[in-house]
Structure 1
Amino acid sequence: MKYATLLCIALLSGNFLMGQETLPDINLYDLQGNKVNVADYGKNNKITVFNFWATWCTPCKKELNNIADLYEDWQEEFNVEIIAVSIDDSRTKAIVKSYTDGQGWDYTVLLDVNKDLQRLLNGQTVPFTVITDQNGFIVEKHSGYVEGDEYIL
């Protein structure tokens, strides 16, 4: 149910709910080592879902694997982009690429090894999800995952 609510909020551009908070101007790196400014995702005219996860977090991996099955449909139907943000630290970040390659995810994966972005968005635990509307306004934040929520979306 929470995903249905989140999508409705994003589609209706309910930016008034979060006081028009936007993505922070912070650089992270993707798996190829390219610097990516997170604030740029607020300019892509898409609903963007940032899913914070870690290789040691079983619910995180389950959520992202379940979403992978639906992602292509979501892209076509709702113009959604998923960004999987790994909070694995510098000691385990090498595992992230091999893990994601093995999963075949069609997501952009960013590395937040110092948890700077997660902290700026007030995330306490993983899985942690932040959704922005097409105008780049944050419309929802939530922690946790209950299997099956992705089908409601």
Structure 2
Amino acid sequence: MAQPTVSPKGKKSVLSTILSWTIPALALVIAFNTEAKAWAIRGLMEVGFFQLHMSADTAVAALPEATAAEDVVFRDGSGNSVSLSSLKGKVVFINFWATWCPPCRAEMPSINTLYNKFKDSSNMVFIMVDVDGKYEQSNRFVKQNNYNFPLYVPASAIPSSFLGNAIPTTVVLNKKGKIAMRHEGGADYGSAKSEKFIQSLLND
């Protein structure tokens, strides 16, 4: 008995039907799933979007006019507090984030990459701040994703010069405790440009 065949036109129709259902379904998943959104944003980062437009030379030149860091206190999971005033003489990378925030999740791998490049420097400090103050929840997320950067929650008010109405927000302080960079929104911090910028502050 002859086997039924599908004409090229029929194959195209089947493929078109599959795509007409698959694409909207994928869009819905991305729209309503935090991790799916993060995955989509991370993919855009990998092809060159969300790049930081910063020049080490420009940033260093602008430092004398940078805003002085107000004293802010953060607390780790063991209850130990760290104040920014105690970190003068070091370069401080501060990231404000939350587990429910897709762009926060998207930039985490790149921040972890940057952290691992500089974690052995005695003059470099990373402070990853869960703005919701839910240390246990954020710590579970960090461990599940095998990140090894240090995690904190706020232990004082966060000034608007650091954190406005958007997360993620990243603030980098120079050794004088002044704001050398402030960026709202997700970004790729694992790039050579980011590494060069941090190194320029360490060398200053």
Normalising by the smaller structure, the TM-score range is 0.7 to 0.9
Give the C-alpha shift of residue 84 in structure 1.
Answer: 0.7
Name which one, 1 or 2, has greater alpha-carbon Rg.
Answer: 2
- List alignment gaps of at least 5 residues for structure 1: none
After superposition, residues 55-74 of structure 1 pair within 5 angstroms as: 55-74=99-118
- Pick closer, same or farther for the CA change 1:33–1:13 going to 2, 3 Å: farther
Deviation string, structure 1 residues 49-86 (Cα, Å, up to 9, x no partner): 11110011111122122221232224468x54321111
The number of residues matched between the two structures is 143
Cα separation, 2, equivalents of 1:124 and 1:133? 23
Aligned counterpart, 2:166: 125
| Correspondence list, 1:1-150, <5 A | 2=52, 4-5=54-55, 7-8=56-57, 12=60, 14-18=62-66, 20-22=67-69, 24-41=70-87, 43=88, 45-75=89-119, 80-89=124-133, 92-112=134-154, 116-117=157-158, 119=160, 121-146=162-187, 148=188, 150=190
**CA shift in 2, pair 1:57/1:49, >3 Å:** same
Which amino acid in 1 is paired with 2:109? N
Displacement after TM superposition at 1:9 (Å)? 5.1
Question: Distance in 1 between the 2:61 and 2:129 partners?
Answer: 23
Question: Are the aligned partners of 1:48 and 1:82 in contact in 2 as well (CA < 8 Å)?
Answer: yes
Task: Tell me how far apart the structure 1 counterparts of residues 61 and 124 of structure 2 sit (CA, whole Å).
Answer: 13
The gaps in structure 2 that reach 5 residues or longer are 1-50, 195-204
Structure with the larger strand share: 1
Between structures 1 and 2, the one with greater helix share: 2
Is the contact between residue 88 and residue 113 of structure 1 (CA under 8 Å) also seen in structure 2? Answer: no
Of structures 1 and 2, the one scoring higher in RCO (CA 8 A, sep 6+) is 1
Q: Which runs of 4+ in 1 moved over 4 A?
A: 7-10
- Work out whether residues 63 and 180 of structure 2, in 8 Å CA contact, stay in contact via their aligned partners in 1: yes
